Amino acid sequence: MVPLLVALLLTGSAPLVHAASGSKNNAELAPESTSSNAAKIDLPVPVGEPVKGIKIPQYDEQGNLTMNLTAEVARKLDERQVELTKLKVQFNDKEQKQIIVEIPHSMLDLETKKLIADSETVISREDFEITGQTAEFDTVARQGIFKGHVRASFRNDNAPILP
């Protein structure tokens, strides 16, 4: 297990619920008006029907966008489990640097808000990249772990220039 630098992954001050706009092939969700992080995510699509081009923004209590989740395909397996294909999560860290998380295949539990990535997961920022064989994210507790083989690389663009 490796502690993740992105403890903020998939978390925000407000939970995700209710459809704001979109169609069967381009769904977008907006935050619920309550601030309970434990509230169930409501993905208003029929069970078993794939939704292409889903976008799930998250906002803080002031209504500022804190994170964008996009998936090529989302499919509700039942009222609790959602399968996500080509999930991409974008958010800014405390230093206002953009972090991008890419997961080819994952499962999201709508009640617990736990995301299980059963495929290679890549977390990148301008100065690092971490790749894990699989990953688990507890979005309520703001914690995540990589499992299996993990590779990390760090870049330092401010390295001194030697003569």
Give the domain extent around 55. Answer: 2-154
CA distances from 98 to 1, 62, 68, 69 (A): 24, 20, 11, 13
Task: Name the DSSP letter for residue 63.
Answer: S
Q: How would you class 113 by CB atoms within 10 Å of its CB: exposed for 0-12, middle for 13-18, buried for 19 or more?
A: buried
Rg (alpha carbons) of the chain, rounded to whole number: 16
- Asked if residue 88 belongs to a domain, the reply is yes
Residue 105 CB neighbour total at 10 angstroms: 17
* CATH, residue 113: 2.60.450.10
- Tally of domains within the chain: 1
Asked if the structure places residue 161 within a domain, the reply is: no
pLDDT tens, residue by residue, 48-106: 999 999 887 777 778 888 778 899 999 999 999 999 999 998 888 888 889 899 999 99
Residue 159 in any domain: the answer is no
Give tens-digit pLDDT for 119-158: 999 999 999 999 999 999 887 666 789 999 999 999 886 6
